[in-house]
């Protein structure tokens, strides 16, 4: 099978891209572990990108803290960490590209107006000319096309960009580049081939694929893992006071993440060093056994 003349195996590049709104909690650790195992099981690279585009929401030192936590858990990344705050020129370039082709427009609709029209923007500012750019957001024109992708966990997922999503924001009213634009530019720049992340982002995926198509970027494969919720059904997040993970509890945390990701680690593994557990996880990783769920409770009893 593995003749030396065989076509080089396609190279896998995965990534974990936290925003430094605080230290890692168990929910973000799940995405780190899943993307790491999938990359390493495919003999790929695993990159870390810090999505620090929203300074008011980033406590000082949070990025360093996240990297320390990953280090302590032996989730070792390949290459240099990429910081989105260093990439503004590249986002500007993509924006200019869209703008020169009249694929986006300034929007100064008030919050009140946006609220009154519901969740899908009605195109109101598309043809308004010469708006004072102060206080304007920039939206991309959403054509009425169906975008479908095959999620590695959930299978086919389809949205009509025009009728189900609408013109969406790529530069915010406060002039910060929106997540959707930055992430697409960086995934292309880093040649990411596989994106494994939480289910809460599946709604963003059609937007990102749409931008990739407009910008002539390749589309990676996507897999969305269940997001961890607390006993009130809320996503573990800083807003809901999720506790930061303590690297001293590493072995137990990794064990718990494995169970929630559909792996069946032997009971004795619970106290094994994280490195040993990760080696086991890489060998056993199977995307097919990841629960096809949007949410999973954090206190799901371990199947042992």
Residue ranges binding Zn ion (CB under 5 A)? 107, 109, 124-125
- What is the closest distance, in whole angstroms, from the C-beta atom of residue 156 to Zn ion in the complex? 32
CB-nearer residue toward Zn ion: 120 or 294: 120
Show the tokens assigned to 117.
Answer: 């029209």
Reported residue count of the chain is 304
Asked if 141 and 104 touch (Cβ cutoff 8 Å), the reply is yes
For the chain, count helices (H), then strands (E). 8, 12
CB-nearer residue toward Zn ion: 173 or 292: 173
- What is the closest distance, in whole angstroms, from the C-beta atom of residue 125 to Zn ion in the complex? 3
CB-nearer residue toward Zn ion: 173 or 279: 173
State how far the Cα of 184 lies from the Cα of 201, in Å rounded to an integer.
13
Beta strands in 70-125 (DSSP E): 82-83, 104-107
Burial of 116 (C-beta count, 10 Å sphere; 0-12/13-18/19+): exposed
- What is the closest distance, in whole angstroms, from the C-beta atom of residue 34 to Zn ion in the complex? 38
- What is the closest distance, in whole angstroms, from the C-beta atom of residue 176 to Zn ion in the complex? 18
- What is the closest distance, in whole angstroms, from the C-beta atom of residue 33 to Zn ion in the complex? 41
Show the tokens assigned to 6.
Answer: 């065989």
CB-nearer residue toward Zn ion: 62 or 107: 107
CB-nearer residue toward Zn ion: 139 or 197: 139
Beta strands in the chain (DSSP E): 13-16, 45-50, 82-83, 104-107, 137-140, 146-151, 155-160, 168-171, 194-198, 221-225, 227-229, 295-297
State how far the Cα of 218 lies from the Cα of 197, in Å rounded to an integer.
18
Query: Widest CA span of the chain, in angstroms?
Result: 67
Where do runs of H (alpha helix) occur along 193-296? 205-214, 250-260, 274-284
- What is the closest distance, in whole angstroms, from the C-beta atom of residue 116 to Zn ion in the complex? 12
Asked if 254 and 277 touch (Cβ cutoff 8 Å), the reply is yes
CB-nearer residue toward Zn ion: 95 or 107: 107
CB-nearer residue toward Zn ion: 83 or 124: 124
- What is the closest distance, in whole angstroms, from the C-beta atom of residue 119 to Zn ion in the complex? 15
């Amino acid at each position: 099978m593995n003749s030396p003349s065989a076509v080089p195996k396609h190279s896998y590049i995965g990534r974990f891209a936290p925003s430094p709104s605080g230290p890692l909690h168990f929910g973000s650790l799940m995405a780190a572990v899943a993307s790491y195992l999938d990359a390493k099981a495919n003999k790929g690279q695993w990159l870390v990108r810090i999505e620090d585009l929203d300074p008011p929401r980033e406590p000082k030192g949070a990025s360093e803290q996240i990297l320390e936590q990953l280090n302590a858990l032996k989730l070792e990344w390949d290459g240099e960490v990429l910081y989105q705050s260093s990439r503004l020129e590249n986002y500007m370039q993509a924006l200019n590209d869209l703008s020169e082709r009249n694929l986006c427009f300034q929007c100064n609709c008030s919050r009140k107006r946006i609220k009154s029209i519901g969740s899908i923007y009605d195109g109101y500012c598309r043809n308004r000319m010469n708006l004072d750019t102060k206080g304007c957001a920039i939206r991309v024109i959403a054509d009425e096309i169906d975008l479908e992708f095959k999620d590695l966990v959930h299978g086919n997922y389809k949205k009509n960009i025009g009728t189900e999503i609408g013109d969406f924001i790529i530069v915010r009213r406060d002039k910060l580049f929106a997540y959707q634009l930055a992430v697409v530019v960086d995934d292309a720049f880093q040649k990411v081939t596989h994106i494994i992340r939480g289910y809460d982002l599946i709604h963003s995926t059609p937007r990102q694929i749409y931008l990739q198509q407009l910008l002539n970027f390749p589309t990676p494969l996507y897999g969305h893992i269940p997001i961890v919720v607390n006993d009130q059904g809320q996503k573990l997040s800083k807003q809901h006071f999720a506790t930061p993970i303590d690297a001293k509890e590493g072995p137990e945390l990794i064990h718990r993440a494995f169970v929630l990701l559909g792996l069946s680690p032997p009971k004795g593994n619970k106290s094994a060093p994280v490195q040993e557990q990760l080696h086991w996880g890489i060998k056993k990783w199977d995307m097919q056994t990841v629960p096809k769920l949007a949410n999973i409770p954090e206190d799901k009893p371990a199947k042992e």
